[in-house]
Amino acid sequence: MPGARSKRAKRRKKKPLSDEELRELSRKHFARDFPNPKRLGCPPKGELKRLAENPRNAKESVLGHISSCSPCYRGYSRFLQAKKKKTPI
Amino acid sequence: MKATPARSAASSFFVSPVDRRGRAIDPLVLAVAYEVGPRVVAYADRLLVDTALAMDLFEVSAGAVTQALKRRPKDAQPVLDLASYLSKTYLRKVGLIRKRRKRLEKAIENHARIESSARKSLEAEVAVLCDQVMATYDKVVRQMAYRHYEGFSWKEIGAEFGIDPHAAEARYSRALAHARLLLGIPPPKI
C-alpha cells in the first residue's frame, strides 16, 4: 500500500546529528581511524606537548600530521587533557 | 518413607481453581489438571525456561477448557479424553508463546542491524566532515576544533587564543557549516 510505504520511509528518515554526537564521533575518528603502527613521519612527543600548551605558535607540519595519525592524536589529546586539568577556567 | 523425586514434584504441584483471567476452573477439569499437569508443565518449562509463565499458561488453558465445555451444546458428544484435550490446548498456547518470542527476537535482531548500519553511515559522514574541516581551514580553527572535540568549553578555547568565547564558537561554527554545505550534510538539531 502506498500509505504504508510512506510511513516506513518516514521512520527511516535520518536524524540530524547533535553537537554532542558530532564531538564524540569526531574524537573517535581521529583517535581510531588512522592507525600508524610504524609511526611513519611522527614528530617527537615534545612537539605534541608544545602544540597542546602553546597553540598560538603551532607548527603546520605537526598540526597536519595529527589529523592523519591516530597515535599522535591520542598523544596530543592526553597533553590537552593534562593542560585542561592544570589550568581549569 | 522417602518419596521419589517425581512424586514429590507432583505433590508440590498446585493449580489455582481460578485462572489469571478470573475464570473458575471446573472441578472435573481441575482433577484432570492435577493428573496431567506435572508432566506437561515440566515439558513446557523446559521449552519456555520460565516456570511461572508455564504454570500461568496451564491455568489459563484449564480455564479455557472449562469455558469450552460450558459452551458445548447439551446434545453434543461428550469429550472422551479430557486429559488429552487439556494437554493439547496447553501445548498449543505454549507453541504460540514460543512463536511470539521468536518473532520478537527476530524483530530485535533486525532493529539492531538497522541501527548498526545507520551508526556506521553516521560515523562515515562525520569522518568526511572532520577531514573536510581539517583540510580546508587555518591553524586556529583546526586547533579550536580539536579542543572542542576534547571537551574544552568555548571560554577555555577563547582564552587560549586570546579571543572572545563567542567569537571562537562563531568561527568554528562557520567553518563547520561551510563544510556541511560543501558535503550536503544537514545541520544539527537545536
Tell me which residues of chain A, numbers 50 to 69, contact chain B at a CB-CB cutoff of 8 Å. Answer: 51, 55-56, 58, 60, 63, 66-67
Is A34 at the interface with chain B, CB within 8 A?
A: no
Q: Which among B80, B88, B3, B4 is positioned nearest to B43, based on CA atoms?
A: B88
pLDDT at B26: 93
pLDDT at B47: 92
Is A10 at the interface with chain B, CB within 8 A?
A: no
Question: Mind listing the pLDDT tens digit for each residue in A24-57?
Answer: 889 999 999 999 898 889 999 999 999 999 888 8
ipTM rounded to 2 decimals: 0.81
Report chain B's mean pLDDT, rounded to a whole number.
87
pLDDT at A15: 63
Give mean pLDDT, residues B57-84. Answer: 91
pTM of structure: 0.59
> What DSSP assignment string belongs to B92-108?
HHHHHHHHHHHHHHHHH
The greatest distance separating any two alpha carbons of chain B, rounded to the nearest whole angstrom, comes to 98
Question: Which SS3 state, helix, strand or coil, does residue B18 take?
Answer: strand
Cβ contact B149–A23 (<8 Å): yes
Domain ranges of chain A: 28-89
Q: Which residues of B touch A80 (CB under 8 A)?
A: 146-147, 150, 152
**Percentage of chain B lying above the pLDDT 90 cut:** 60
pLDDT at B190: 53
Give mean pLDDT, residues B45-54. Answer: 93
- Whether residue B90 has pLDDT greater than 80: yes
- Whether residue A4 has pLDDT greater than 60: no
pLDDT at B5: 43
Cβ contact B127–A29 (<8 Å): yes
pLDDT at B121: 84
Closest residue to B130, CB basis, from A15, A30, A84: A30
Highest mean pLDDT among B3-12, B66-75, B112-121 belongs to: B66-75
* Residue B135 confidence class, pLDDT cut points 50, 70, 90: confident
C-alpha to C-alpha distance for B78 and B14, rounded to whole angstroms: 27
Cβ contact A27–B155 (<8 Å): no
Give mean pLDDT, residues B103-131. Answer: 88
C-alpha to C-alpha distance for A57 and A66, rounded to whole angstroms: 15
Q: Nearest 5°: CA angle at B135, between B178 and B140?
A: 80
Which one is predicted more confidently, B91 or B11? B91
Q: Which residue of B has its CA nearest to A56?
A: B161
